[in-house]
Structure 1
């Protein structure tokens, strides 16, 4: 199994958080290489014009997709790195109380709401700027679980007294105090995403899930592009000779091996698998 096959297997067997990390990291690598090539060729093409969220409303109307694409692009490696760290951290606690489907909905809806806050603000301030980064979407996840379970214990460097609300407070406080000095629009979108997380969990506790329309839309497209299962007629032959049948078929044995490997991944992580187990899982997934 080569590196590419290993990455494909990790993507297929990983959860929604791992897929989001793969997407953010993969897009960053691809477009960093593209930027390097454009500099080598001395090209003036700026792909951010078509992928970043513009503060100019007329520009947004012609590039409406940017309210989604902006949350998958990052300024530099450290911007991406810290977003991945906070996503990994917050999702660990989020998935303890909620589902992967809810995490996906909060991620995209939080990023969407943060983008809207950014757009609305700049209609009153005539500044032409652009927004990129997944921070608003990630802070929506963090704020959702923080409001729901603020006193959840967080272990950082063996310090047992830290609670989840302490971490969230520090992150939001840093956003607020940095706003007047740099990246005002970016910090505003972060706070917009966090505010969405607050609204989401408060309404959810009252029995109202405001992400339902988004979930329904995702389900519609997933089902529309899902290949339909075919059940062709098969000719059946009767075997009149007696044959000793094993209690488990080859299919049963294979499925049991897959289940055992997946249990091992859930308990000890993907890296705990042996080379043979990784190859077996990869071949079984084809």
Structure 2
């Protein structure tokens, strides 16, 4: 089985958390290839310009020229270490999050946390004098604000949940989240990545608000997810409806049972093939049939 087929199969069968990680990794690899290609032709500035078009700017007027960047920036990363730690945090805390909430809420908090981080980032750069003295609009990228929203959403909802850390042992989740927030606050005066750290705080605040409403039975992601569904449906290709008429009489019990036995026989054959030759020996159609049968 080719590795690309394995990745596609894993993505298709994976949940929201798996798909978020795959999308982030895919975007990182795509821009890495762009960087390499343009570097070989001594045109690195073009690669930088392309990346900037998907990074959220601090200048609201610049955002009007690329409104999509307020969403795309949260899937874009600077370098390998940047994406490595973000994806590790997303995986670790995302799994804890899913113990208390459903996958659609995870997706909603990811996007809303990213939007909250971008908003605080832009507001800060246009209000605080120490940040407003820039000749051209700074840009921001990364999933950190989204991840912080998931971390603080989980920690605020279940503050006494314990995680086991190397050398420290069991630590309450809220203490771990507060420690991460303190590190961001300490880093703000350095002005090296102040906007990014402020964005983290924006994500954390969104996560805490989500949890506070969740304890009261309210889900702030519900309307946002509906909006995103409608937005996706607007740009997705709608299949053409085909109306067919059939004079075939309804299937009787005998025909139904015959079809059921035939289907079960096919599944038994596939299982026998797995026993003798392994899962990788199955064709794509056989894997689909087995997957569909397991969900019925």
1:32-181 aligned at under 5 Å gives the runs 32-43=32-43, 44-45=45-46, 46-124=49-127, 125-127=132-134, 128-157=137-166, 160-181=169-190
User: CA 1:42 to 1:175, structure 2 compared with 1: closer, same or farther past 3 Å?
Assistant: same
User: CA 1:172 to 1:281, structure 2 compared with 1: closer, same or farther past 3 Å?
Assistant: farther
SS in 2 for 1:155: strand
* Match status 1:281 vs 2:287: yes
SS in 1 for 2:98: helix
Runs of at least 5 residues in structure 2 that lack an aligned partner in the other structure: 272-277
Runs of at least 5 residues in structure 1 that lack an aligned partner in the other structure: 261-272
> 1:104 and 1:85 mapped to 2: Cα distance?
17
User: CA 1:250 to 1:176, structure 2 compared with 1: closer, same or farther past 3 Å?
Assistant: farther
> 1:26 and 1:38 mapped to 2: Cα distance?
19
* Other-structure match for 2:262: 250
Q: CA deviation at 1:154?
A: 1.3
TM norm structure 2: 0.80
Q: CA deviation at 1:191?
A: 0.8
User: Residues 179-209 of structure 1: CA distance to partner in whole angstroms, max 9, x if unpaired?
Assistant: 2222110011011101110112112323433
TM norm structure 1: 0.83
User: CA 1:112 to 1:229, structure 2 compared with 1: closer, same or farther past 3 Å?
Assistant: same
* Other-structure match for 1:264: none
SS in 1 for 2:70: helix
User: CA 1:209 to 1:33, structure 2 compared with 1: closer, same or farther past 3 Å?
Assistant: same
> 1:8 and 1:148 mapped to 2: Cα distance?
34
* Other-structure match for 1:263: none
Contact 1:140 1:196 in 2 (8 A): yes
> 1:25 and 1:246 mapped to 2: Cα distance?
46
* Other-structure match for 1:187: 197
* Other-structure match for 1:267: none
* Other-structure match for 2:274: none
Contact 1:153 1:160 in 2 (8 A): no
* Other-structure match for 1:27: 27
